[in-house]
Amino acid sequence: MNIKKQFSSIKAKTLFYLIFFSVSILLILWFCQIVFLKYSYQDYQIQNMNRLASEIQRSSFVDLNNTLEEVAYENELCIEYHANSGNIYYYNTMMNGCALGKENQEIVKTEKSFIESDLQSDTYKVTNKEYEVKAFLYGVKLDSGSVFLYSTLEDVSGANAVLRKQLIYLTIIAIFFAIIIAYYLSRKITDPILDVTKKAQKLGSSPLVKFPNYGVSEVDELASVLTNAQTEMVKTDELRRDLMANVSHDLKTPLTMIKAYAEMVRDISYKDPKKKDEHCNIIMDEVDRLNVLVNDILTLSKMQANADEIHLEKFDLVKEIETIVKRYEIIKETENYHFVLDLPNEAIVLADQKKMNQVIYNLINNAINYTGNDKTVTIKVKKEKDSYLVQIIDTGKGIKKEDIAFIWDKYYKNDKNHQRNVVGTGLGLSIVKTILENHEFKYGVKSQKNKGTTFYFYVKTK
């Protein structure tokens, strides 16, 4: 199993593919040099004779003799010229292996066949039986007659043998160096990946893992992604611990109160109707706290899981705010809270009415919790282009600048500025944030020390 895993590793595969690539290049080189050498040589000869034939055709009749003589000696060819008058002229026939003018029947028949044909030029492969040498006979017709260029084909088998022997040694040496280079490159490429993999396996089970700069852009990008993931994991773990601590505390407190007052009703105050009603009311308030907590947790979970869809509809934002404010009549009467409404006659907006109700309710609830001694909460709605600006203002001690970035987090509570112990879970602002972001509405907070805090958001009209 370990051997199989080693062979399937990225290092082994990289090494194998690099060696395979190097060997393939060598085999192609070998094939081209050994197999195609003969054909390449013949093709070169034909192209050279085509070039010389063109040079001869461009020559004038007066200079033809000199041209044929120069071509023959400079290019180691023997040439035979058949004039229209019937005379035959030879050039460089003393060249070793030349078969022209020696009654070679194959060549004589070939020349006669070409002269009688309609071809202007053609190449023939002939054999010099005297030397058993292969040769090319190239015929070209002029106005004054026909010219035949004769070039022997050198035996390249000897050259092939030498090249083959050299290539064997070169191949062995090249493969050796290819293996070394491939091994080095495979380590250079795979070592950073393997290091990232090993460190990634430690994420979440050890202190913060640091990824160095590997010098490979893709690997460095992967390391950056893992570093960000590690940071988010730490935040999630901290959030999980805070969540458990806060939820357990928020659940434990009302449950303790419910149990205590239930025991008091059972054992003591059941005989005193006034005390019994007072204790039962406390139990009901604590049940309400539990209900709000559970509902807020479920609401936030749905929103963050994108299971709670947005249903856009047109409605009057002013009427919605006035309806919500009426819920607080009890604290206006019993605790002297004041609500200042600065609203237009009508504000038709396009949003999810139920969710905007949650936003406004949570922000007003937050303002009631933290407003100043004057117990005043101001709600303003102002038209701005294609949206309405909604502001909920309290007169409390404000929020520290360093804390503003965290107020939207789950379970954030500014306990020191707490004015009233109304029902709250610490999830209100997180729910507000999630709803507004799902709507793609702009939102924010402004706060001054000892001058209060303003929460604001925009609601689009279309």
Say what the pLDDT of residue 426 is. 61
For 391, half-sphere exposure in the C-beta direction (CA atoms, 13 angstrom radius) is 19
DSSP string, 33-90: HHTSHHHHHHHHHHHHHHHHHHHHHHS-TTTHHHHHHHHHHHTT-EEEEEETTS-EEE
Closest of 351, 242, 235, 250 to residue 293, by C-alpha = 250
Contact criterion met (CB below 8 Å) for 408 and 363: no
In the block, tokens 């706290």 appear at 289
Continuous segment of H or E residues that includes residue 205: none
Beta-carbon contacts of 10 under 8 Å, excluding residues fewer than 6 positions away, are 190, 193, 194
* Count of C-beta atoms within a 10 Å radius of residue 217: 8
Say what the pLDDT of residue 351 is. 93
Q: 62 - beta bridge partners?
A: none
Closest of 25, 21, 17, 14 to residue 171, by C-alpha = 25
Contact criterion met (CB below 8 Å) for 125 and 150: no
Contact criterion met (CB below 8 Å) for 123 and 135: no
Beta-carbon contacts of 298 under 8 Å, excluding residues fewer than 6 positions away, are none
Helix-strand-coil percent breakdown of the chain, rounded to 5? 55, 15, 25
- Residue 58 identity: R
In the block, tokens 């054999």 appear at 127
> pLDDT averaged over the chain?
80
Contact criterion met (CB below 8 Å) for 372 and 396: yes
Q: How many whole angstroms separate alpha carbon 424 and alpha carbon 206? A: 36
Contact criterion met (CB below 8 Å) for 86 and 144: no
Say what the pLDDT of residue 458 is. 95
CA 157 to chain centre: 55
Closest of 383, 370, 387 to residue 451, by C-alpha = 370
Q: How many whole angstroms separate alpha carbon 459 and alpha carbon 389? A: 7
For residue 430, what are the CA distances in angstroms to 186, 362, 427?
49, 10, 5
Say what the pLDDT of residue 1 is. 44
Say what the pLDDT of residue 412 is. 57
Q: How many whole angstroms separate alpha carbon 141 and alpha carbon 119? A: 8
Say what the pLDDT of residue 228 is. 79
Beta-carbon contacts of 128 under 8 Å, excluding residues fewer than 6 positions away, are 97, 98, 99, 104, 134, 135, 152
- The two most distant CA atoms of the chain are separated, in Å, by 153
Beta-carbon contacts of 243 under 8 Å, excluding residues fewer than 6 positions away, are 410, 411
* pLDDT digits 0-9 by tens, 410-438: 555 555 444 444 445 567 788 888 889 88
* pLDDT digits 0-9 by tens, 209-265: 777 777 767 777 877 887 777 777 776 676 667 666 666 656 676 787 788 888 888
Angle between helices 217-267 and 273-304 (to 10 degrees): 160
Residue ranges in the chain modelled with pLDDT below 70:
1-11, 33-38, 154-164, 204-207, 216, 235-236, 238-240, 242-251, 253, 289, 292, 296-297, 299-308, 410-426
Say what the pLDDT of residue 145 is. 92
Say what the pLDDT of residue 421 is. 46
